[in-house]
Amino acid sequence: MTDTSSDACVLPVRIYYEDTDAGGVVYYANYAKYMERGRTEWLRALGIDQSAMAVREKCLFVVASLAIQYRRPARLDDVIAVNSSVRRVGAASIEFAQSITRDGELLCDGTVKVGCVNADSFRPAHIPPELRLLLEKVSS
């Protein structure tokens, strides 16, 4: 279940065997996948259906940059919390602040910038006005 009681979203994720390396530690690239899920569920909780938006508005979001600082490992069977919030909304981009915690302990944190592109040309496009207003409201 996703908690969106504030402008942030918290998505719980259980760590399965498939998520870990031979040492039982979450493989580093999987943190980016968890962050992707966190952003997607955050938008879904706000009522944004990205599939419908791609058809209706010809708008897609693509990751433009990602910076992650790893601090502590997550392990098999842990339940982690993926925390997502909007840091900044630009004309054609959104910058998210994200962190992953376990029982309040910071495991990693980072910044993800997603760009809005036209679904046909994949060229940069303005964020649709209705969506932009919603994002600005929750990021202030």
Please report, for the domain that includes residue 14, its CATH number. 3.10.129.10
pLDDT at 12 over 70: yes
Residue 2 domain-assigned (yes or no): no
pLDDT given at position 7: 63
- What would the pLDDT profile of 57-66 be if each residue is shown by its tens digit? 999 999 999 9
pLDDT top residue among 101 and 132: 101
Residue 50 domain-assigned (yes or no): yes
Task: Say what percent of the chain tops pLDDT 90.
Answer: 81
Residue 58 domain-assigned (yes or no): yes
Q: Is 50 helix (H, G, I), strand (E, B) or coil?
A: helix
pLDDT top residue among 69 and 138: 69
Residue 59 domain-assigned (yes or no): yes
Residue 132 domain-assigned (yes or no): yes
pLDDT top residue among 3 and 21: 21
Residue 81 domain-assigned (yes or no): yes
What is the domain range of residue 72?
A: 9-139
Residues 6+ apart with CB under 8 A from 15: 26, 74, 75, 76, 77, 78, 79, 80
pLDDT at 5 over 50: no
Which of 62, 107, 114 has the alpha carbon at shortest distance from 83?
A: 107
Residue 4 domain-assigned (yes or no): no
- pTM for the whole structure: 0.89
- The answer to whether residue 21 is catalytic is yes
Catalytic choice (21, 78, 109, 120): 21
Picking from 7-16, 19-28, 108-117, which range would have the lowest pLDDT averaged per residue? 7-16
- What would the pLDDT profile of 83-113 be if each residue is shown by its tens digit? 999 999 999 999 999 999 999 999 999 999 9
- Per-residue confidence at 140, pLDDT binned at 50, 70, 90? low
pLDDT top residue among 6 and 37: 37
Residue 31 domain-assigned (yes or no): yes
Distance, in Å, from the CA atom of 73 to the CA atom of 91, rounded to the nearest integer, reads 36
Domain count across the chain = 1
pLDDT given at position 27: 97
